[in-house]
Structure 1
Amino acid sequence: MIPEPYHGLHATIAQAGAVMVRWLEPQRRCARVRVRELTCECKARIYELCQADGLSFVRRTDRTQQGPQVMETEWLPSARAREIWHKIITGQAV
């Protein structure tokens, strides 16, 4: 049996006791944002771990019939943003 090809990272479904992430309207703080990690495009909701101006944040995009709805976490030191990213990916946060 041939395994299906890997096509990207998927966030795990929220686990019991998952913490709620505080999602905010996007901040247009700088002209250039680098996406460091992202989830697979095959889902209606995608997440991106972003970095800009020495800080990091997680961006969430919900693709709806009305168009994309974008939210993001507060801009944080990289270690803290990576912690939130890990919790989202493993279903410990939503």
Structure 2
Amino acid sequence: MPKPLDWPCCQIAVHVPDPQPDHAVIKWYPSSPRAVRVRVRDYTCACKPTFYELCQSGGQYFIRRTRRFRQKVVIEESLWNTQASVLAIWSSLLDGTGR
């Protein structure tokens, strides 16, 4: 029987690696409804308690972090910024140099 925090793996999305010892710390902010529509451009696998989505809205990009723990779901966002700036943060998540 699976534990309550086990979710099935989609086996098509990237899994976020463990952070490297000297990883950069990404500042996260509570999610707020800033836009009517948000497009998810990329995402990580949701089989872990924490997963990420690379989002775009109105020419701005940001990363949405969803954390599931103790029967709660907490959604946070990085700063909204230019595509180049947020893609650099996204890359750091995917290679373990940022968290």
Q: Same fold (TM over 0.5)?
A: yes
1:64 Cα offset (Å): 1.6
Residue 81 (structure 1) aligned with residue 86 (structure 2): yes
TM-score (norm 2): 0.85
Q: CA deviation at 1:53?
A: 1.0
Query: Deviations for 1:33-65, whole angstroms, at most 9, x for unmatched residues?
Result: 000000011111000000001100001000123
Q: 2: CA distance between counterparts of 1:52 and 1:17?
A: 31
Which residue type is aligned with residue 23 of structure 1?
W
- Provide the secondary structure at the position in 1 that maps to 2:30: coil
Q: Which runs of 5+ in 1 are unaligned?
A: none
Rounded Cα–Cα distance in structure 1 between residues aligned with 2:11 and 2:19: 22
Aligned residues: 90
Following superposition, the deviation at residue 6 of structure 1 comes to: 4.0
Give yes or no for contact 2:42–2:53 (8 Å, CA) kept in 1. yes
The two structures, once aligned, show a CA RMSD in angstroms of: 1.4
Distance across 2 between alignment mates of 1:15 and 1:82: 19
SS at match of 2:23: coil
Q: Which aligned pairs between 1:35-74 and structure 2 lie closer than 5 A?
A: 35-74=40-79
Cα deviations by residue, 1:7-54 (Å, 9 ceiling, x for unpaired)? 320111100210100101113111110000000111110000000011
Residue among 9, 12, 19 paired with 1:7: 12
TM-score, normalised relative to structure 1:
0.89
Structure 2, unaligned stretches of length 5 or more?
1-9
